[in-house]
């Protein structure tokens, strides 16, 4: 569920009218709901109460400092994939000792920085990386905590770009080689084997792949605990969100109108599926949600600039582009699009492409979609944009990054101002 709904003829985030947000702060802008962020974190935390567990929010999903601070205040740890993300966590008041550092290509500088800051663990993706961490730690005269990521060869049945748990993916050590990898790592002088990690993919809407992976890897975790004294087993993230119908899924009534079997995956069903395989391991269980926490907590607002009617299509040209939200162009990611002004029964529906100003044919947010009509100068919202939205934005076509706004109850504040073109050019001008 989430906190976006129509009230009084306009789309609201919690108790704030998004029409007013768009008019006051301009577009394109990302708007996040603090209540939804808190609710998503709390529901997952409560679903896992049967386990000794920790939530490591995946910073890559949405790394705004105010979002990280909100989650840190709830007690969250953080899953990071760069030294820059670790700096963000620290700047937001997060605890490095509750951070796990993932990613396949950690550099020397990143490893040094992470060791110096006292992170909880490196999640190593290969034996070569473990050897490199050992070498860097030795040069510092320290021991580095390491978990090796196992690739369980489980098909997450998600988009090929966000599947990570099969043998052909670049992540982790193949299941059949992992025990030998731990044996060799145990002989390294500057490594402490602290845990085991896996992550099979993102945006999973069926609990079965999670169950398959937990059932397969839990016995391995038990053996590694006995042999090397590991203290945690990270089962990764991947719980999906509702992209369609996104707006309707914000209400309790929508969920209650579906049978348990027909509902999208919830944290409660996820926990019921995996907890039986984990509760008797005697290990701390870490989870690494990103999209689940932030995805449906945000929308992107954009203004309709023009309508272009051709012989084949009707185009609605908006002021946001693929540089602002790349998911549709990158891997055909779906975002529900709704007018900020609530449609009435008399509002016509038309088949349209919603496109941006970028000089690329791939610069679209939807194609051939039946939507309530909206006019030039009106605002629309792209729902479920809180994860992998702003963090993947760019300055392509020399366009400034959009503003980010956090709503909490009836208050709204800018948590990142809109980037000006002058700011983009500043460093280059200084080096002419």
Residues 238 and 382 in one domain: no
222 is a domain residue: yes
pLDDT of residue 168: 52
Domain stop point among 258, 290, 322:
290
pLDDT of residue 249: 95
Q: What sign for the dihedral angle of Cα 307, 390, 242, 162?
A: positive
Longest dimension (CA), the chain: 73
Q: Is 388 annotated as a binding residue?
A: yes
Chain centroid to CA 150: 21
Q: Is 237 annotated as a binding residue?
A: no
Residue 229's Cβ-count burial label (10 Å; 0-12, 13-18, 19+) is: exposed
Angle, alpha carbons 295-296-300 (nearest 5°): 85
Q: Which residue has the tokens 């309709």?
A: 304
Domain stop point among 290, 308, 335:
290
Domain stop point among 231, 258, 290:
290
- Counted residue by residue, the chain has a size of 432
Q: Is 418 annotated as a binding residue?
A: no
188 is a domain residue: yes
Phi then psi for residue 73, to 5 deg, are -65, -25
- Please give the positions annotated as active site: 359
| Structural domains counted in the chain | 2
16 is a domain residue: no
Q: Record the pTM.
A: 0.95
Chain centroid to CA 213: 21
The CATH number for 399's domain is 2.40.37.10
408 is a domain residue: yes
Residues 117 and 173 in one domain: yes
Residues 328 and 274 in one domain: no
pLDDT of residue 170: 56
204 is a domain residue: yes
**What is the rounded distance in angstroms from the CA atom of residue 336 to the CA atom of residue 207?**
24
pLDDT of residue 159: 43
Phi then psi for residue 250, to 5 deg, are -75, -15
147 is a domain residue: yes
Q: Is 50 annotated as a binding residue?
A: no
Nearest to 31 by CA among 71, 59, 67: 67
Q: Is 288 annotated as a binding residue?
A: yes
pLDDT of residue 154: 83
pLDDT tens-digit profile, the chain (432 residues)? 899 999 999 999 999 999 999 999 999 999 999 999 999 999 999 999 999 999 999 999 999 999 999 999 999 999 999 999 999 999 999 999 999 999 999 999 999 999 999 999 999 999 999 999 999 999 999 999 999 999 998 865 544 444 443 445 557 899 999 999 999 999 999 999 999 999 998 899 999 999 999 999 999 999 999 999 999 999 999 999 999 999 999 999 999 998 887 888 999 999 999 999 999 999 999 999 999 999 999 999 999 999 999 888 999 999 999 999 999 999 899 999 999 999 999 999 999 999 999 999 999 999 999 999 999 999 999 999 999 999 999 999 999 999 999 999 999 999 999 999 999 999 999 999
Q: Which domain holds residue 160?
A: 34-290
What is the full DSSP assignment across 314-366?
Answer: EEEEES--TTT--HHHHH-----EEESBPP-TTPPEEEEEEE-SSSSTT-EEE
Q: Is 30 annotated as a binding residue?
A: no
23 is a domain residue: no
Q: Is 327 annotated as a binding residue?
A: yes
Residues 267 and 307 in one domain: no
20 is a domain residue: no
Nearest to 3 by CA among 14, 15, 11, 16: 14
């Amino acid at each position: 569920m989430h906190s976006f709904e129509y009230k009084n003829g306009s789309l609201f985030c919690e108790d704030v009218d998004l029409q007013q947000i768009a008019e006051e702060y301009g577009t394109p802008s990302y708007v996040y709901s603090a209540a939804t962020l808190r609710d998503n974190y709390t529901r997952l935390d409560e679903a896992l109460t049967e386990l000794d567990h920790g939530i490591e929010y995946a910073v890559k999903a949405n790394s705004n400092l105010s979002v990280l601070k909100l989650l840190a205040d709830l007690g969250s740890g953080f899953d990071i994939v760069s030294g820059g993300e670790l700096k963000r966590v620290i700047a937001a008041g997060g605890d490095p000792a509750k951070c796990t550092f993932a990613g396949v290509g950690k550099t020397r500088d990143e490893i040094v920085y992470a060791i110096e800051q006292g992170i909880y663990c490196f999640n190593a993706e290969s034996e070569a990386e473990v050897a490199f961490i050992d070498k860097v730690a030795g040069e510092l005269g320290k021991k580095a905590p390491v978990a090796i990521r196992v690739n369980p060869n489980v098909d997450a049945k998600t988009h090929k770009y966000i599947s990570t748990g099969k043998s052909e993916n670049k992540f982790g050590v193949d299941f059949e080689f992992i025990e030998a990898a731990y044996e060799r790592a145990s002989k390294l002088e500057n490594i402490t084997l602290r845990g085991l990690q896996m992550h099979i993919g993102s945006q999973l809407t069926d609990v079965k792949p999670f169950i398959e992976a937990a059932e397969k890897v839990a016995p391995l975790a038990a053996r590694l605990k006995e042999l090397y004294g590991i203290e945690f087993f990270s089962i990764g993230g991947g719980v999906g969100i509702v992209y369609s119908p996104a707006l309707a899924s914000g209400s309790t009534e929508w969920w209650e109108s579906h049978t348990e079997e027909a509902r999208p995956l919830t944290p409660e069903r996820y926990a019921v599926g995996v907890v039986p395989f984990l509760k008797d391991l005697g290990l701390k269980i870490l989870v690494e949600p990103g999209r689940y926490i932030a995805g449906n907590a945000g929308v992107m607002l954009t203004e309709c600039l023009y309508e272009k009617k051709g012989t084949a299509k009707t185009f609605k040209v908006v002021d946001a582009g693929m540089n602002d939200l790349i998911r549709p162009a990158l891997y055909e990611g779906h975002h529900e699009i709704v007018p900020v002004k609530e449609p009435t029964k008399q509002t016509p529906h038309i088949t349209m492409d919603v496109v941006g100003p970028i000089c690329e044919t791939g610069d679209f947010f939807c194609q051939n979609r039946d939507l309530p009509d909206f006019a030039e100068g009106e605002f629309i919202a792209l729902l479920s944009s809180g994860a992998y939205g702003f963090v993947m934005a760019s300055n392509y076509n020399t366009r400034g990054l959009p503003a980010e706004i956090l709503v909490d109850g009836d208050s709204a504040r800018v948590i990142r101002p809109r980037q000006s073109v002058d700011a983009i050019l500043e460093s280059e001008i200084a080096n002419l």
